[in-house]
C-alpha cells in the first residue's frame, strides 16, 4: 500500500514552473530513491511535498488523506518529515539539544527515549558527541545529526535531500550503510541522492526525474542496468 502518493504535482518559484506533473508513490516500508540531473526538480519536489512550496496543481496524499494544503509543521505532526539539503542544524546547540528539537511533534514526544536509543545505535558517533556543539562537528557528523534529528520526529515517511553532498567517500559509505536500519524499523524513506550508483545500490525502487517530470521508474536493481538512466542525465 502506498503511504505517500503524489498525483500530477506542479509547482515552481515565482513565475517559473519547475515541476510539470509529477506522479510518485511510496510503498509502506520501502526505501525509494529519487535521482536526476541538476535542475531536474528533485529538491523542489521534496519541498512541494512537504508544503514549503505550495503546489500549483495536483495532490499530495499521506495515508490516503489529501494533505496538499497543509503547512509543513502539520505534516511533520502527521509523520511526514524532511531532512533538508545543507542540514540546517542549530549550530550553537549541542547534539542532544538538536535531537530534542527534532522530537517536538506531539506524537514523537512519548517515544523520545526509544528514538534516542535508535539514533544512537544507528550513529554511535553522535552518542559519543552528544554534548558537543553541532557547529563544531565535521561535515559527515553533521549529516548524521541531520538524519538523526529527522528520526527523532518519529517519521512514518522520512525524506532525505542530498545526503552525501560534499562528504568524503568513507563517510558516504557509512551513511549509506546506516540506511538499511531504516528499513528494519519500518520507516518509509525517500532518498534524493547525487550518486546514482549508490542510490540504486541501496534502495528498493527508484524514480529518475528529468525536466520536472518522471522520466523513468522501476525497481532499483533493474534501473542500475538500464542504459536509459544515463540517457536521462546526458540527453543522448
Partner 1 sequence: MSVLLQVEHVTKRFGGLVAVNDVSFELYEGEILGLIGPNGAGKTTLFNCIDGVYAPEEGRIRFRKQDITGWKPYDVARFGMARTHQIVRPLADLTVRENVMVGAAFGAQSMGLRQAARVADEVLEFLGLAERADWLAGSLNVAQKKRLELARALASQPQLLLLDEVLAGLNPAEIAEMVATVKAIRNRGITIIMIEHVMHAIMNVSDRILVLDFGQLIAEGTPKEIAANPKVIEAYLGDPKLAERLMQGGE
Residues at the interface with partner 1 (CB under 8 A): 12, 15-18, 20, 37-39, 169, 172-173, 176-177, 180, 194-198, 200-202, 211, 229-230, 233-236
Q: Which is nearer to partner 1, 30 or 133 (CB)?
A: 30
Q: How far is the CB of 27 from partner 1 (least distance, A)?
A: 21
Q: Which is nearer to partner 1, 9 or 18 (CB)?
A: 18
Sign of CA dihedral 6, 71, 103, 161: positive
Q: How far is the CB of 236 from partner 1 (least distance, A)?
A: 4
User: Angle 35-116-182 (CA atoms, 0-180°, nearest 5)?
Assistant: 30
Instruction: Count how many residues are written for the chain.
Output: 236
Q: How far is the CB of 13 from partner 1 (least distance, A)?
A: 9
Q: Which is nearer to partner 1, 1 or 236 (CB)?
A: 236
Helix 139-152 / helix 169-184 crossing angle, nearest 10 deg? 10
Q: How far is the CB of 156 from partner 1 (least distance, A)?
A: 25
| Closest to 24 in 3D by CA, of 207, 200, 229 | 207
Q: Which is nearer to partner 1, 116 or 199 (CB)?
A: 199
Q: Which is nearer to partner 1, 76 or 200 (CB)?
A: 200
Sign of CA dihedral 149, 123, 35, 37: positive
Sign of CA dihedral 212, 214, 220, 224: negative
| Whole-angstrom distance, CA of residue 200 vs CA of residue 146 | 22
Q: How far is the CB of 57 from partner 1 (least distance, A)?
A: 14
Cell numbers linked to 190 = 525517500
Q: How far is the CB of 5 from partner 1 (least distance, A)?
A: 25
Q: Which is nearer to partner 1, 41 or 79 (CB)?
A: 41
Instruction: Tell me the residue ranges of DSSP E strands in 37-187.
Output: 57-62, 65-66, 80-83, 157-161
Amino acid at each position: 500500500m502506498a503511504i505517500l502518493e503524489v498525483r500530477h504535482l506542479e509547482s515552481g518559484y515565482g513565475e517559473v514552473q519547475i515541476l510539470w506533473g509529477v506522479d510518485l508513490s511510496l510503498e509502506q516500508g520501502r526505501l525509494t530513491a529519487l535521482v536526476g540531473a541538476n535542475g531536474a526538480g528533485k529538491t523542489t519536489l521534496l519541498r512541494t511535498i512537504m508544503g514549503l512550496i505550495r503546489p500549483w496543481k495536483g495532490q499530495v496524499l499521506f495515508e490516503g488523506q489529501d494533505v496538499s494544503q497543509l503547512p509543513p509543521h502539520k505534516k511533520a505532526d502527521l509523520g511526514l518529515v524532511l531532512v533538508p539539503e545543507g542540514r540546517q542544524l542549530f549550530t550553537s546547540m549541542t547534539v542532544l539539544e538538536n535531537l530534542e528539537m527534532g522530537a517536538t511533534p506531539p506524537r514523537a514526544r512519548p517515544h523520545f527515549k526509544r528514538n534516542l536509543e535508535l539514533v544512537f545505535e544507528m550513529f554511535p558517533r553522535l552518542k559519543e558527541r552528544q554534548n558537543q556543539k553541532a557547529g563544531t562537528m565535521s561535515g559527515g557528523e553533521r549529516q548524521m545529526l541531520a538524519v538523526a534529528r529527522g528520526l527523532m520526529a518519529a517519521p512514518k515517511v522520512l525524506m532525505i535531500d542530498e545526503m552525501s553532498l560534499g562528504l568524503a567517500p568513507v563517510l558516504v559509505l557509512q551513511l549509506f550503510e546506516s540506511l538499511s536500519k531504516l528499513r528494519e524499523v519500518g520507516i518509509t524513506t525517500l532518498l534524493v541522492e547525487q550518486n546514482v550508483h549508490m542510490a540504486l545500490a541501496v534502495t528498493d525502487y527508484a524514480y529518475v526525474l528529468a525536466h520536472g517530470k518522471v522520466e523513468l521508474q522501476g525497481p532499483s536493481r533493474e534501473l542500475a542496468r538500464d542504459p536509459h538512466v544515463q540517457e536521462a542525465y546526458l540527453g543522448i
